[in-house]
Structure 1
Amino acid sequence: MERGINFPNGDDGATASAPEKTTMELVQQRFKSDERVHLIFEAYQIKGPEHVEGLLTLVSSLSCGTYAIISFSPLRTPLRASNELKIDQVFPITKSFQLTKDTKGSITEQQFDLSTDDDGPIKYYYHTFKTDIESVDYEQFVAEVYSCKSLMWTAETLNFMWLDDYREIGDRKQELKKRLHQCIVYKDLIIYCATWNVNNKPCWDGSNESLRPWLARGKNSPDIYAIGLQEIEKMSKVMLNANQLQLQWVTRMLSNLHDGNEYEEYKTVRLSTMMLTIIVRKRLSKYILRSRINSVARGVLNTFGNKGGVAVSLEFKDASICFINSHLAAHMDYIVERNEDYKGIEEGIKFGDDGGPYRTINDHDHVFWLGDLNYRISKSDQISDCNILDLRLQRDQLLDEMSKGNCFNGYTEGQIRFEPTYKYEPGSDRYDTQREPAYCDRVLWKGRRIEQMTYNSVMEIRQSDHKPVYAIFKIKLKTCDENKLKREHEKWLKDEDKRENESQPQIVADPILIDFGLVRFNELVIRDFKVSNKWVKQVDFLFKVQPSLNGICEKYVHVDPRDASLLVESERFISIKLMIDPKSVSSLLKKICDTKSKFDFDVLILHVKDGRDIFITATGKYQPSCFGLSMETMCRTDRPISEYSQEEMRSMILDVSPEYRVTMPREFFLLIDYLHKQGDSLRDLFQSYDRRQLLSSQFNAVRDWLDTWSEEEFPGTPQTAAEALLLLLDLPEQAVLEPFVDDLMMCKSKSEAMELIALLSPPKRNVFMHLCMFLREGVERNNYELSNVAAIFGRILLRSSKSNITTDYQNRCTEFMRRFIIETADPVAGGNGQRVATGAGLQT
Structure 2
Amino acid sequence: MERGSSYPNAADTSAAAVPEETTLSIVQQRFKADETVHLIFEAYQIKGREHFEGLLTLVSSSSGGTYAIISFSLLRTPLTGSNDLKINKVFPINTSFKLTTDNKGSKTEQQFELCTDDDRPSQYCYHPIRTELGSDEFNEFCAEIDSCKRTMWDGGSPSEAVLNFRWLDDYREIGEVKQELKKRESEYIVYKDIVIYCATWNVNNRPCWDNKNTLRPWLACGEKAPDIYAIGLQELETTAKAMLNGNQMQMYATQWVRKILENLHNGVEYEELQSVRLYGIMLIIIVRKQLRQHIVRCRVNSVARGVFKTLGNKGGVAVSFQLNEANICFVNSHLAAHMGNVAERNDDYKAIDMSMRFEENGLQLRTINDHDHIFWLGDLNYRIQEPIGQQRPGPMSDAQTFELMLQFDQLRMEMSYDRCFKGYTEGEIKFAPTYKYDVGTDTYDTGEKQRAPAYCDRVLWKGKRIEQLEYNGVMEIRESDHKPVYAIFRVKIKTRDDYKYKMVLSEVLKAVDKRENDSQPQIITDRPIIEFGLVRFNEPVIRDFNVYNDCSQQVDFKFKVKDLPNDICEKWLHVDPRSDSLMIDSARSIRVRMLADANSVTGLLKKICSTSDRCDFDILILHVRSGRDIFITVTGEYQPSCFGLSMETMCRTERPIGEYTLTEIKELMLDVTPMYRVPMPREYFLLIDYLHKQSGQLKGIFQSYDRCQPLSSQFNAVRDWLDTWSDDKFPGTPQTAAEALLLLLDLPEQALLEPFVDDLLATRSKADAERYIDLLSEPKRNVFKHLCLFLCEGIERGDYDANNIATIFGRVLLRSSKCNVTIDYHSRCSEFMQRFIRIENPDTVVGGNGLSSASLQT
TM-score relative to the length of structure 2: 0.55
Aligned counterpart, 1:769: 792
Distance 1:413 1:788, change over 3 A: closer
Whole-angstrom CA distance in 2 between matches of 1:252 and 1:843: 76
Q: Is the 8 A contact 1:402 1:408 kept in 2?
A: yes
Aligned to 1:505: 523
Cα gap change, 1:294 to 1:715, in 2 (>3 Å)? closer
Counterpart pick for 2:587 among 557, 570, 584: 570
Q: Distance in 2 between matches of 1:242 and 1:701?
A: 84
Deviation string 1:678-717 (CA, Å, 9 cap, x unpaired) is xxxx9xx99x95738968999989999x99999999989x
Q: Is the 8 A contact 1:374 1:439 kept in 2?
A: yes
The match for 2:94 is 100
Displacement of 1:144 in angstroms is 1.0
Query: d(CA) in 2 for partners of 1:295 and 1:254?
Result: 24
Q: How far 1:195 moved relative to its partner? A: 5.6
Give matches, 1:726-805, under 5 Å.
761-770=784-793, 772-773=795-796, 801-804=817-820
Q: Which residue of 2 aligns with 1:174?
A: 182
1:478 deviates by 4.0
Larger-Rg structure: 1
1:561 to 566, 577, 585: 577
Kindly indicate whether the alpha-carbon contact (under 8 Å) linking 2:55 and 2:71 is maintained by their aligned counterparts in 1.
no
> Counterpart of 1:313?
319
Give the SS at the match of 1:691.
Answer: coil
1:605 maps to a residue whose letter is: L
1:298 deviation in Å?
Answer: 1.7
Correspondences of 1:96-175 after superposition (within 5 Å): 98-101=92-95, 140-141=118-119, 144-145=121-122, 154=137, 169-175=177-183
1:531 aligns with 2:549: no
CA shift in 2, pair 1:366/1:605, >3 Å: same
Aligned 8 A contact 2:382 2:410 in 1: no
Question: Aligned residue for 2:22?
Answer: none
Offset from partner CA, 1:564-600 (integer Å, 9 cap, x none): 34453424352637595xx738848977996999999
Judged with a 3 Å threshold, the aligned counterparts in structure 2 of structure 1 residues 148 and 645 are, in CA distance, closer, same or farther, namely same
The one-character-per-residue Cα deviations of 1:728-769 (angstroms, maximum 9, x if unpaired) are 899677889988876776676899889999998432332443
The residue type paired with residue 589 of structure 2 is R
1:673 alignment counterpart: 696
Shift in Å, 1:443: 3.2
Map of 2:380 onto structure 1: 371
CA drift at 1:447? 1.4
Taking the aligned partners of 2:558 and 2:526, their CA distance within structure 1 comes to 14
Query: Counterpart amino acid of 2:697?
Result: Y
Is residue 63 of structure 1 aligned with residue 52 of structure 2?
A: yes
**Cα distance between partner residues in 1 of 2:430 and 2:650:** 101
Alignment equivalent of 1:477, drawn from 463, 474, 491? 491
C-alpha deviation, 1:422, in angstroms: 8.1
Q: In 2 relative to 1, CA 150–570 (structure 1 residues): closer, same or farther, beyond 3 Å? A: closer
Q: Secondary structure at the match of 1:64?
A: strand
Residue number in structure 1 paired with 2:849: 834
CA deviations 1:13-64 (Å, max 9, x no partner) are xxxxxxxxxxxxxxxxxxxxxxxxxxxxxxxxxxxxxxxxxxxxx9988231
Q: Distance in 2 between matches of 1:712 and 1:249?
A: 84
How far has the Cα of 1:507 moved from its partner? 1.5
Contact 2:378 2:459 in 1 (8 A): yes
**Corresponding position: 1:183 with 2:177:** no
CA distance in 2, matches of 1:514, 1:304: 73
Letter in 1 for 2:375: H
Relative to 1, partners in 2 of residues 1:751 and 1:812: Cα closer, same or farther, differing over 3 Å? same
Tell whether the 8 Å contact from 1:250 to 1:265 is kept in structure 2 after alignment: no
The residue aligned with 1:448 is 463
Shift of residue 183, structure 1, vs aligned partner: 1.7
The 2-side partners of 1:713 and 1:350 are apart by: 82
CA contact (8 A) 2:810 2:833 kept: yes
Q: In the aligned structure 1, how far is the partner of 2:220 from the partner of 2:736?
A: 104
Answer whether contact 1:195 1:372 (CA < 8 A) is retained: no
Could you tell me which runs of 5 or more consecutive residues in structure 2 were left unpaired when the two chains were aligned: 1-44, 58-68, 73-82, 100-113, 130-135, 142-170, 395-400, 775-780
Q: Return closer, same or farther for 1:818/1:314 CA change in 2, 3 Å cut-off.
A: closer
Secondary structure of the 2:182 match is helix
Trace 1:40-59 onto structure 2 (pairs within 5 A): none
Q: Which consecutive unaligned segments of at least 5 residues does structure 1 have?
A: 1-57, 73-86, 102-111, 116-135, 638-642, 677-681, 780-785
Using the aligned pairs only, state the percent identity.
24
CA shift in 2, pair 1:656/1:536, >3 Å: farther
1:394-435 deviations in Å (ceiling 9; x for gaps): 777666555555445445566788998888999866888988
- The answer to whether the Cα contact below 8 Å between 1:325 and 1:369 also exists between their aligned partners in 2 is yes
1:782 corresponds in structure 2 to: none
The residue aligned with 1:613 is: 631
Give the distance between the partners of 1:736 and 1:254, measured in 2 at CA. Answer: 71
Residues 527 and 770 of structure 1: is their aligned pair in 2 closer, same or farther, counting only changes over 3 Å? same
Distance in 1 of aligned mates of 2:587 and 2:423: 67
CA 1:147–1:203: 2 relative to 1, 3 Å: same
Residue matched to 2:840: 825
d(CA) in 2 for partners of 1:251, 1:725 = 76
Q: Using structure 1 for the length normalisation, give the TM-score.
A: 0.56
Structure 1 letter corresponding to 2:192 = V
The offset of 1:827, in angstroms, is 3.8
Equivalent residues in 2 for 1:201-220, closer than 5 Å: none
- Partners of 1:209 and 1:732 lie apart in 2 by 79
Q: Is the 8 A contact 1:601 1:620 kept in 2?
A: no
Could you list the per-position Cα deviations for residues 431-473 of structure 1 after superposition, in whole angstroms to 9, with x for gaps in the alignment? 8898895757363635135667788889999999xx8567654
- Aligned pairs for 1:333-482 (under 5 A) are 336-337=343-344, 339-347=346-354, 356-357=363-364, 360-363=367-370, 365-373=374-382, 376-377=385-386, 379=388, 383=389, 402-411=415-424, 439=454, 441=456, 443=458, 445-448=460-463, 468=482, 473-481=487-495
Counterparts of 1:616 and 1:255 in 2: how far apart (Å)? 56
Deviation at 1:100, TM superposition (A): 1.0
Tell me the CA shift for residue 656 of structure 1: 9.2
- Conserved 8 A contact 2:477-2:484: no
Cα deviation per residue 1:285-341 (whole Å; 9 max; x = unaligned)? 968874746352323x756766x3343436484452434343525365x55555545
Distance in 2 separating the partners of 1:213 and 1:793: 86
Residue 491 of structure 1, aligned match among 500, 503, 509: 503
Shift of 1:371: 3.4
Instruction: Give the conservation status (yes or no) of the 8 Å contact 1:366–1:446.
Output: yes
The change in CA–CA distance for 1:585 and 1:646 in structure 2 (over 3 A counts) is: farther
SS in 1 for 2:499: helix
Post-superposition shift, 1:252?
A: 14
Which amino acid is 1:311 matched to?
A: V
Quick one: distance in 1 between partners of 2:647 and 2:450? 114
Q: 1:595 to 1:657 in 2, by over 3 A?
A: farther
Indicate the RMSD between aligned Cα atoms, in angstroms: 7.3
Given the superposition, is the C-alpha separation of residues 168 and 794 from structure 1 closer, same or farther in structure 2, using an over 3 Å criterion? closer
- In structure 2, distance between residues paired with 1:513 and 1:231: 68
Q: Residue 564 of structure 1 aligns to which amino acid in structure 2?
A: D
Report the counterpart of residue 78 of structure 2 in structure 1: none
2:80 counterpart residue number: none
